[in-house]
């Protein structure tokens, strides 16, 4: 969070921002606060944020899924833009692991529609 606070004033007119797991080591309400801060820093810019936390991903305007696979001794990476339902499915997976349930889907929908709900006051 300290790094984000320090980066904000110096971002100035930088048109593109890339954040690679800046949320490492945080969770819960702190992760939501990081997501809210990233949303503010990224406003008006092209931004990419790599995260494994649904509390951070919920603040995104768009959501991509990155998948790696081995083929013929080579590692291939696939990037897919998710539509609204795929985004909910991925957020549900992030919340509950491999087991997607009606409860994780409901929670994911709620997070996507109102990411600020988990932010500490």
Burial of 22 (0-12, 13-18, 19+ CB in 10 A): buried
Burial of 96 (0-12, 13-18, 19+ CB in 10 A): middle
Q: What is the CATH number of domain 2-8+16-116?
A: 3.40.50.300
Domain boundaries, the chain: 2-8+16-116
Nearest to 64 by CA among 41, 87, 44: 87
Nearest to 4 by CA among 30, 15, 27: 30
Q: Report the predicted TM-score, pTM, of the whole model to 2 decimal places.
A: 0.81
**Model pLDDT for residues 54-100, shown as the tens digit of each residue:** 999 999 999 999 999 999 999 999 999 999 999 999 999 999 887 89
Q: Which helix (H) or strand (E) holds 55?
A: helix 54-57
Contact, 22 vs 55, CB < 8 A?
Answer: no
Under the banding of pLDDT at 50, 70 and 90, the label for residue 2 is very low
């Amino acid at each position: 969070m300290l790094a984000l606070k320090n980066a904000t004033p110096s971002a100035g007119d930088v048109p593109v921002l890339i954040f690679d797991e800046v949320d490492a080591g945080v969770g819960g309400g702190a992760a939501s606060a990081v997501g809210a801060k990233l949303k503010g820093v990224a406003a008006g810019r092209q931004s990419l944020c790599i995260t494994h936390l649904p509390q951070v991903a919920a603040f995104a305007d768009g959501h991509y899924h990155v998948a790696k696979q081995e083929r013929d001794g080579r590692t291939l990476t696939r990037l897919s833009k998710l539509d609204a339902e795929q985004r909910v499915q991925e957020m549900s997976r992030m919340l509950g692991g491999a087991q997607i349930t009606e409860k994780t889907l409901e929670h994911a929908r709620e997070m996507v529609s109102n990411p600020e709900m988990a932010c500490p006051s």
